[in-house]
Amino acid sequence: MSFDSDPIIAQLRKGLLPIEIFDGADAVKRKGQRGASVLMPLVFRHEWQVILTQRPQTMPQHPGQIAFPGGKREAGETALQAALRETDEEIGVSDHDITILGRLPSFNAVSEYRVTPFVGIVSPKAKIIPDPREVEDVFETPLSFLMEPKNHVPRDVFFEGKNHRLYDMPYNSPDGTHRNIWGMTAMIMYRLYQRSYQAVFETEY
């Protein structure tokens, strides 16, 4: 799939890093940390949408939270291989239906993971089949909504001796369902907005 002529994809590419990682940026940075990857899946349905999942309330970690497909890397996997495997396992979309555009900088999550986010395009013909053990619901949110500054609701938190400003992205879907997109998922999308639309590039994550 080629999207070189799409102006929105061209805009996103401005903030993305190359797919390959040669500098070890995805490597764990502290004792006990583990590598993890997520995929921000885009799909075009009249306009660009972001595919998101909601975790079951029964999950031991982050129950009910809105998330991207993703998880910890297995032995011998690259960061990209982990993101693609987890996407297949969680929502049933294989790498044959995904075109990777690039990645965002790896970062230390509040949990014990060093996370590498990738951005990719899913074929609109791909069947989404969520695994009920890991995914309670799959839904789509317009990329235009998520990249609109007025929809970024600031929230200040105090963590590890410092104040941090986070941004939530509460969204009401056309069927009336309210979902609060927050935490790591919202932070990844806010970082994409900063890099692609504001040309704000932090040097350390």
- β partners of residue 14: none
Quick one: pLDDT band at residue 2, thresholds 50, 70, 90? Answer: low
DSSP-derived 3-state class of residue 113? strand
Is the pLDDT assigned to residue 32 strictly greater than 70?
yes
Tokens 């899946």 sit on residue: 41
Domain ranges of the chain: 9-18+30-197
* pLDDT per residue as tens digits for the range 71-123: 999 999 999 999 999 999 999 999 999 999 999 999 998 768 999 999 999 99
The CATH homologous superfamily to which domain 9-18+30-197 belongs is Nucleoside Triphosphate Pyrophosphohydrolase (3.90.79.10)
Helix (H) or strand (E) segment spanning residue 149: none
Is the pLDDT assigned to residue 30 strictly greater than 80?
yes
* pLDDT per residue as tens digits for the range 125-156: 999 999 999 899 999 999 999 999 999 999 99
Is the pLDDT assigned to residue 69 strictly greater than 90?
yes
